[in-house]
Amino acid sequence: MESPVMLAAGILGTTGASLRRAARAGAGAVVTKSLGVEVREGHRGPTVVQVEGGLLNAMGLPNPSYRNFQEEIDIGRGGGSPVVASIFGADAEEFVEVATGLDADGFELNLSCPHAERFGAEIGCEACNVEAITRAVKRRVDVPVWVKLTPNVADVVALGLAAQRGGADGVVAINTLKAMAIDVESGRPILGNRFGGLSGPAIKPVAVRCVYDLASALDIPVIGVGGIATWQDAVEMMMAGARGVQVGTALGSGDGYGIFRSIAEGLSGYLERKGMALEELVGLARRFP
Amino acid sequence: MRPISARILEIVPETPTVRTLRFDHSLDPVPGQYLMVWVRGVDEVPMSISYRDGITVQLVGEATREIFDLEVGESLGLRGPLGNGFTLSGEKILLIGGGVGAAPLALLGEAAAEEGVEVSTLLGFRCCDEILFRERFERIGELVMTTDDGSQGICGRASAGLPALHLQEFDQIYLCGPEPMMADIIGRCPGMETKIQASIDRYFKCGMGICGSCCLDPSGIRVCIEGPVFRADQLVGTEFGRYKRGASGIKIERR
């Protein structure tokens, strides 16, 4: 990877053209919208609402099914960065069907979406499921497999260790925090799905803590995601132990796609100023017990 | 921002399938911007703005059916105005609209006329019953109308009205209507692409440039925040006029 700054799953990953645009804008890797077995249109609107410190979303895993997505991955590869397919399923069998049905440069197992029945965090909150699904997919593909973890559990490290036992090449932390917003005029939950997942600046400290704990306990790499919008955020996440970072919600504000370059440049400038290599930054905060 | 709650002050039936809702909030839009309209308990859908404080809605599906059932005093949740809107440019402009696409053009035409710009309009409707905002357009300048069935004005699609206008005279041409109509008009104006602005329609979910459901091939331009208004030369060679994507992301080919 040329840059440790990647496009997060679920953001601008529905079409090959937008994946390619992110890659050309400097994303070191791009992760697709999560793909499953069946075509899904997702939840009713509102699917996104702006709240204090971030966004609340409940898209509901809309996707055209992996059967209609290979062309988009191939177009996305035209941007020159690896295309990682985010995939979901109700069980190991479905995960394997999707993974073996796609030619991608890596897979990110969505075991953490907080707002879709039967999928994501509903199965990914149990360490035994995480281990079994990771192992099943790893057996059948020969590209890197990452597991994206949910923070909506008492012990995220237990999930990370399960992914590691299953043979994961890395874990991605964190998915969104379960959250809700209510319209005070009507008393109705705003999201069509009533509750959803919180992303953006508000969850960054939570993500930093999860990454710190995971990196302390795991031998495999941790990729940090959650509220990263500036190079300082990326540095902080790496100091917690992340080998790379993913950017999502921040794509919707400021200079949009320009964020990949601005974070990468800020990061290199910082390393130069400190006379450090990227590897020295990773986990730096763990030196202070 | 969370959706604001806007109370309906007035409902104007415009045609059998179109009505205007005026709110107790001024939206302060750039003409061509849109709102995400939350019909509580049903869905959130994009709607173009037709008055500083109003939207004009065509009955097309479940959410608009619910909007048609609302009464004065009830409310909708609104996010916006969103998107870029039209850029007013030149001394003499032409508006070309099809059906309910006339709505944002009426707001644009009025803003232009207020600034002393000479405004001409070409509007196409299915039939005389579906004519929208005739008085608003006649008040600001010349109006040429077409109907598919010939029940009013020139018989045919909006493009049938083009021979009645001297296209080269206009500094800028503004389009809003069904995509085949806009693609057809752009195709009939070779060499004028940089003088044409078109407001286009895609499946919007987030309205803030992050979900990716509205991205255009092959550039990946996000229609919801980088649009919905584009210069025609930005649309040439894209999926525009050929296909779009539905809620799942699957391509829907146009015939």
Amino acid identity of residue A257, one-letter, is Y
Residue A236 is encoded by which pair of tokens? 């902080």
Stretch among A10-14, A38-42, A120-124 having the lowest mean pLDDT: A120-124
Question: CB distance from B42 to chain A under 8 Å?
Answer: yes
pLDDT of residue A116: 87
- Is the pLDDT score of B134 beyond 80? yes
Alpha-carbon distance of A208 to A225, in angstroms, equals: 9
pLDDT of residue B255: 65
SS3 content of chain B, % helix, strand, coil (to 5): 25, 35, 40
What residues of chain B lie within 8 A of the CB of A46, using their CB? 3, 36, 38, 44, 77, 79
The end-to-end CA distance of chain B, in Å, is 39
pLDDT of residue B83: 96
Residue A264 is encoded by which pair of tokens? 């990468």
* Contact present, B145 and B125 (Cβ < 8 Å): yes
Contact: B40, A46; criterion CB under 8 Å? no
Q: What is the pTM of this model?
A: 0.95
Sheet of strand B229-231, all strands in order from the earlier edge strand to the far edge? B154-155, B141-147, B118-125, B92-98, B172-176, B196-199, B229-231
Question: CB distance from B134 to chain A under 8 Å?
Answer: no
pLDDT of residue B208: 94
Half-sphere exposure of A10 (CA within 13 A, CB side): 30
Residue A243 is encoded by which pair of tokens? 């080998």
Nearest to A48 among B41, B211, B246 (CB): B211
Structure confidence by residue, pLDDT tens digits, A76-89 = 999 999 999 999 99
Contact: B211, A40; criterion CB under 8 Å? no
pLDDT of residue A254: 79
Which residue, A277, A75, A246, is CA-closest to A175? A246
Q: Give the pLDDT band of residue A151 (cuts 50, 70, 90).
A: very high
Q: Which of A48, A55, A186 to mutate to test the interface with B (most CBs of B within 10 A)?
A: A48
pLDDT of residue B42: 95
Structure confidence by residue, pLDDT tens digits, B8-51 = 999 999 999 999 999 999 999 999 999 999 999 999 999 999 99
- Is the pLDDT score of A1 beyond 90? no
- Is the pLDDT score of A198 beyond 90? yes
Question: CB distance from B40 to chain A under 8 Å?
Answer: yes
Structure confidence by residue, pLDDT tens digits, B60-106 = 999 999 999 999 999 999 999 999 999 999 999 999 999 999 999 99
Nearest CA in chain A to B224: A252
Nearest to A17 among B38, B40, B219 (CB): B219
Please provide the average confidence, as pLDDT, over all residues in chain A: 96
Contact: B220, A190; criterion CB under 8 Å? no
Give, in degrees to the nearest 5, the angle at Cα A60 between A194 and B62.
Answer: 70
- Domains located in chain B, CATH noted: 4-82 (2.40.30.10), 86-199 (3.40.50.80), 202-255 (no CATH)
pLDDT of residue B254: 80
Nearest CA in chain B to A184: B5
Nearest to A41 among B40, B212, B247 (CB): B247
The domain spans of chain A are 5-287
Structure confidence by residue, pLDDT tens digits, A30-39 = 999 999 999 9
Nearest to B248 among A17, A20, A63 (CB): A63
What's the CATH number for A5-287?
3.20.20.70
Please provide the average confidence, as pLDDT, over all residues in chain B: 96
Residue A275 is encoded by which pair of tokens? 């006379």
What residues of chain B lie within 8 A of the CB of A13, using their CB? 212
Structure confidence by residue, pLDDT tens digits, B177-226 = 999 999 999 999 999 999 999 999 999 999 999 999 999 999 999 999 99
Task: Give the number of A-B residue pairs with CB atoms closer than 8 Å.
Answer: 135
Residue A113 bears catalytic tag: yes
- Is the pLDDT score of A238 beyond 90? yes
Q: Give the pLDDT band of residue A255 (cuts 50, 70, 90).
A: confident
pLDDT of residue A2: 86
